[in-house]
Structure 1
Amino acid sequence: MEDLQKLLLHDHGLSVSTLPEKGRCLFTTREYSPGEIILSEEPYVSVPNKTPVKSRCDWCFTSSNVKRCSSCQVVWYCGSKCQTSDWKVHRLECQLLAKLEKNRIKSLTPSIRLMVKLYLRRKLQNEKCDRQLQSGERFSISYPCVYGVLPSIYMYCDAKFQWFLLLNLTHFHKDISEVEEMQLVLYAQMASLVNIILQWSTLNIKEIAQNFSKLACNAHTICDSELIPLGTGLYPVISIINHSCSPNSVLVFEGRIATVRAMQTIPKGSEVLISYIETAGSTMTRQKALKDQYFFICSCPRCIKLGEHDDIEESAILEGYRCKNHTCNGFLLRDLESKGFKCQQCGIVREKEEIVKIASEEKTISNKASVALSSCHNKEALDMYLMVEKLQMKLCHPFSINLMRTRETLLKILMELQDWKKALTYCRLTIPVYERVYPKFHPLRGLQYYTCGKLEWLLGYTDEAIKSLTQAVDVLRITHGTNTSFMKDLIAKLEEAQAEASYKLSSMDD
């Protein structure tokens, strides 16, 4: 920990501390402004997602012009530059994958590949340690992760250092023995396949299984600028950052590089906090998600309000039922006397049997709609999701998360079908809910403004498009910065829309 503190972070506005109730934490040693980069890191190891639709480059994750590795026939690259960048590890992986039987290759999930690459990087580091040890000299490992932050690490060879970046820089919240039995079996099966692939006599299957459990807690989903998942990576330094349902920072990706930016002014001496989960939900929903995946109970400012009046009201609005009187926006709570649900604003009681009947019908149609959508039967799925929306409008509060998700799905289907006008209608319906459930500078909020602006401009609503795109830029310049190609395209769209509006105005004056 002292080496990490001195060599990596202390002189760059950050420090690592250990708290009894939280473990390792990342703190600021200076003030950070909204939008300022706190940390940028390349993955120690990474792999693209495995999809039946498209293959991705193993290095940059693009799906354009990719070709299969001629030797192993498993890994894909978009060109010689990415293949060369990945060659140090893939030259070892390639030999192993080329020997695998076809049925084994079908079982090769991204998680298994990530673990194989992790052990191969360990092997490379061991070999480098051994070579330097024989000469009696110090060795350096240049860990190319934090631009402007991480220098080369100079120290004498230490057998433990091979796991320094993985084991010492991760936080595992729950012992493997406490994980559910089915998960234990799965980890054991995955570890067995890793063992078959590597075929190293020194491997310990139990250790591999334990490392899978650590990856589950510490690996990050790599997304593009629009938060579409592309792959998975392990970022040891960023893994130190703890969770909050009210984070002061946001994690986004620029290609393979993970970047943490301040979403608000972060005073000197504050802990850097990001969100591990989707925060648009009730406290109980968030707590369950964190406990199931990360094995801890959150005690952030939002979560400590569990059971208080404001928290109960928010939960009832986001995940509860609407008042029977559609002119009333009150929230419902269970009424012990009537055994139904009573509106806390107008006092009308809604019978439990009525709610159960609508909820059951909605669930049945939702399941069918999901199957149709996954089978790419978009028109069929559209009709069914419209039925789901109609039932949810009877059942759910106008700010319901479930209703919002259904409308998001309808928006995506309508865009696939190129029904731009109806798509815009649904995009606009989601905006008030986004503004309620996400903080001002949240990437999802900014991206929804962006979608709305694109649709408005496409349909010729230039003034409305300028307003939406301006809102998008105001949010995303904080979360994404301004130097990425995505942000440059967004700013260019806004400037073009503004120029078009100015031209129309000048034409009217003439």
Structure 2
Amino acid sequence: MKNRVRNTNSSIKSGDLLLSEQPFAFVLSSKEQGNRCDNCLQKGKVLKCSGCQFVHYCGRSCQKDAWGDHKWECANLKRVAPKVIPDGARMLAKVINRLNRGDGHSYRAFYSATSFRMWKDLMSHYSDLKADVKRMDHFTSLCGVLYEFLRDISLPNTVELMGMYGRMVINSFMILDTDMNSVGTGIYLGSSIIDHSCDPNAVVAFDGKTINIRAIQDMPTLDWKQIRISYIDLMKTPYDRQTELLKNYYFLCQCHRCMDETQIKYVHAAKCLNSECVNPVNIPWKDNLLLVRKAENENGKENGKEYSEDIVPVSKNGVIGQDSLCCEECGTKYTESHVQTFIKTMEFTHEHLKSMEGASVSYVDVCKYCLDRQEGVVHPLNVMHAQTLDHAFDALIQMQLWERACVYAEKLIPCFRFYYGQKNPLLGLLHLKYGKILLYKMDLNKALHQLKCAEKILKITHGDMHPLYREQLLPLLHQAMVES
């Protein structure tokens, strides 16, 4: 299927589709095996491939469409069964197969009428990989799997294989379903030209395995050198975002959002003791608290990976003593007792957020206990407060505790706006989930308002033909309008 590209000479409006692309290589996540089709990635009733008994398809059409890519893999999967090939090894095997047996070296992925990317154009970050102990261990383990799995293919030498591995890990996209959950991984050559920003002007949305890049800002013309998407979750401190980008992509983000000291003041802020004041109050709650990294030069690094790590001051005059700590806006003073309460709350929340990291389900009671301790202590836009609310909201939905979910959704919306921006798919999805709950509770006016907010955002981020918009949002919006 040919890529759909945008004419670069025309002006760009928010919501315009810039690029629609099929993957160069992709894999369904092993945790989704048996739940989704390995070709279209749609969820539903699927049947096993009669050969390998591992891959599943939703019907003959998908099986036929995938056979050109699967036929070499089928025999190898059958031979190593019942071993399950790790997703990374399976993806790298698909890349090797396409490069050795197919059109991998000559394939052109167009991102404009005349511009394209090829496999060789992808950056491998070879020198960075060699210095990355964790990734080298991963590469070594994948090589062991590949030597057993691909006996019918002559593997490249170690240097070439490591270059392929680097291109794979640096340029892969997580393929997301309509609920923004990861269901697979794909390499998209054209889309890989887009750089990162923590304040992006474009967003990624998936329809099955198809990646769609849409603008979320008006632009006079399409300049791919100026298009930015976010590679990571943005609901973190600048320091944590920068650390993740350094670890996974080997660059230090210095975008204006990371460097905005006004915004940095909120991420670990306490709530002002004056109930009429909304100003954030910064209390250093642990030693050597780092909120942002500042590069030593304009390139983001010097002498390889050297950079300075600045402790952002909690006042204009630097870190102030606890005995004189006060709100810069209204002058309300903090006692030693207030400071210790904030410190203990932050430490407690930090510990429990780490324990919930990567868990398939959050613990409702733990989240509630954290939020109770945070009430009146941490600022409503404090990132740990926002993360706790997010965990709690998802857990309450899974447990169908609708009343409490509504309370948390109301508090979570301003946090999502602050960290993700006004036109982010996650914010649109939050409005949609909240509106759906309100509709179930027959709170029709509020439901209609939330669903209209979702409609405004998702029409921009997904387009009016996307299944999330057409099949999930519009029927709910129509129901809310009719019943109200």
In 1, are the aligned partners of 2:204 and 2:212 still within 8 Å (CA)?
A: yes
- Matched residue of 2:27: which SS? strand
CA root-mean-square deviation = 3.1
Partner of 2:328: 344
Cα deviation, residue 313, structure 1:
3.5
Separation of aligned partners in 1, 2:332 and 2:455:
43
The C-alpha deviation readout for 1:45-92, integer Å capped at 9, x for no partner, is 111112178643211122311222222222222222111111101100
Partner of 1:63: 43
Change (3 A) 1:336 1:481: closer
Q: What is the CA–CA distance in structure 1 between the aligned matches of 2:243 and 2:191, rounded to whole Å?
A: 23
The reply on whether 1:315 has 2:264 as its aligned counterpart is yes
Partner secondary structure for residue 214 of structure 2: strand
- The secondary structure found in structure 2 opposite 1:99 is helix
Greater shift, 325-334 or 72-81, is seen at 325-334
Q: Report the CA distance between 1:440 and its aligned residue.
A: 2.1
Is this contact kept in 2: 1:44–1:235, CA < 8 A? yes
Q: Displacement, 1:94?
A: 0.8
User: What is the aligned counterpart of 1:50 among 22, 30, 48?
Assistant: 30
Call closer, same or farther: CA 1:254–1:220 in 2, change over 3 Å: same
**Contact 1:8-1:149 within 8 A present in 2 as well:** no
Write the distance in 1 (CA, Å) between the matches of 2:9 and 2:468: 31
Aligned-partner Cα distance in 1 for 2:343–2:15? 46
Partner residue of 2:476?
A: 493
Matches within 5 A, 1:86-97: 86-97=66-77
What CA distance in whole angstroms lies between the structure 2 residues aligned with 1:195 and 1:8? 34
Match of 1:23 in 2: none
Aligned partner of 1:191 among 143, 147, 153 = 143
Q: Matched residue of 1:302: which SS? A: helix
The residue identity in structure 2 corresponding to 1:344 is E
Match of 2:348 among 340, 346, 361: 361
CA deviation digits over 1:230-260, x for unaligned, max 9? 1100000100111122221111111111011
Change (3 A) 1:68 1:223: same
Shift, 1:417, TM fit: 1.9
Paired amino acid for 1:294: Y
User: If the length of structure 1 is used for normalisation, what is the TM-score?
Assistant: 0.78
Q: Give the conservation status (yes or no) of the 8 Å contact 1:323–1:397.
A: yes
Inter-CA distance 321–173: structure 2 relative to 1 (3 Å threshold): farther
Given that 2:34 and 2:56 are in contact with CA atoms closer than 8 Å, whether structure 1 keeps it comes out as: no
Matched-pair contact (CA < 8 Å) for 1:39–1:260: yes
| Cα deviation digits, residues 313-371 of structure 1 (max 9, x gap) | 42231233334555543323346452576533335246465444333333455566679
Aligned to 2:101: 124
Distance 1:453 1:353, change over 3 A: closer
Q: 2:88 aligns with which of 102, 107, 111?
A: 111
**1:485 positional shift:** 2.5
CA contact (8 A) 2:179 2:429 kept: yes
Deviation at 1:184, TM superposition (A): 1.1
**Distance (Å, rounded) in 2 between the aligned partners of 1:299 and 1:147:** 26
Q: Per the alignment, do residues 474 and 453 of structure 1 end up closer, same or farther by CA in structure 2, a change over 3 Å counting? A: same
1:296-311 matches, cutoff 5 A: 296-303=251-258, 306=259, 311=260
| Cα separation, partners in 2 of 1:366 and 1:147, compared to 1, 3 Å | closer
Deviations 1:175-219 (A, max 9, x none): 245532232122122123223211334522332233222222100
CA contact (8 A) 1:369 1:385 kept: no
Query: Which amino acid is the alignment partner of residue 359 of structure 1?
Result: M
Residue equivalent to 2:64: 84
> 2:245 maps to what in 1?
290
Q: Which has the higher helix share?
A: 1
Match of 2:187 among 226, 229, 234: 234
CA distance 1:401–1:149, shift in 2 (3 Å): same
Distance 1:395 1:166 in 2: 52
Instruction: Determine helix, strand or coil for the equivalent of 1:226.
Output: coil
Question: Unpaired runs of 5+ in structure 1?
Answer: 1-6, 15-27, 130-140, 154-163, 502-510
After superposition, the Cα gap between the structure-2 partners of 1:55 and 1:498, relative to the gap in structure 1 and judged at 3 Å, is: closer
Contact 2:235 2:387 in 1 (8 A): no
Larger Rg: 1
CA separation in 2, counterparts of 1:55 and 1:269? 39
- Are 2:48 and 2:57, in contact at CA under 8 Å, matched by a contact in 1? yes
Q: CA 1:191–1:396 in structure 2 vs 1: closer, same or farther (change >3 Å)?
A: farther
Partner of 2:290: none
Q: Aligned to 1:227, what secondary structure does the other structure show?
A: coil
Query: In 2, Cα distance between the equivalents of 1:267 and 1:343?
Result: 43
Aligned pairs (5 A) from 1:368-387: 374=360, 381-387=363-369
Query: Counterpart of 2:38 in 1: which secondary structure?
Result: coil
Tell me, yes or no, if the aligned pair for 1:173 and 1:296 is still in contact at 8 Å: no
Residue 457, structure 1, aligned to residue 442, structure 2 = no
Q: Once the 2 structures are TM-superposed, how far is the Cα of residue 98 of structure 1 from its aligned partner?
A: 1.5
**Percent of aligned pairs sharing the same letter:** 25
Greater shift, 91-100 or 291-300, is seen at: 291-300
**Larger deviation: 324-333 or 475-484?**
324-333
Aligned residue number for residue 261 of structure 1: 214
Counterpart contact for 1:174–1:295, Cα < 8 Å: no
Structure 2 counterpart of 1:425, one-letter code: V
Contact kept, 8 Å, 2:279 with 2:327, in 1: the verdict is: yes
| Aligned amino acid, residue 330 of structure 1 | N
Task: Report if the CA contact (8 A) 1:49-1:56 is conserved.
Answer: no
User: Structure 2 unaligned runs (5+)?
Assistant: 283-313
1:331 corresponds to 2:280: yes
Counterpart in 1 of 2:308?
A: none
Match runs of 1:113-152 below 5 Å: 113-125=90-102
Alpha-carbon displacement from aligned partner over 1:376-422 (angstroms, at most 9, x marks no partner): 6x7xx222221111223354211122212212222222222222222
CA 212–393 in structure 1, closer or farther in 2 if over 3 Å, else same: farther
Aligned partners of 1:319 and 1:401 also within 8 Å: yes
CA contact (8 A) 1:366 1:384 kept: no
Kept after mapping to 2: 8 A contact 1:217/1:293? yes
Aligned length: 441
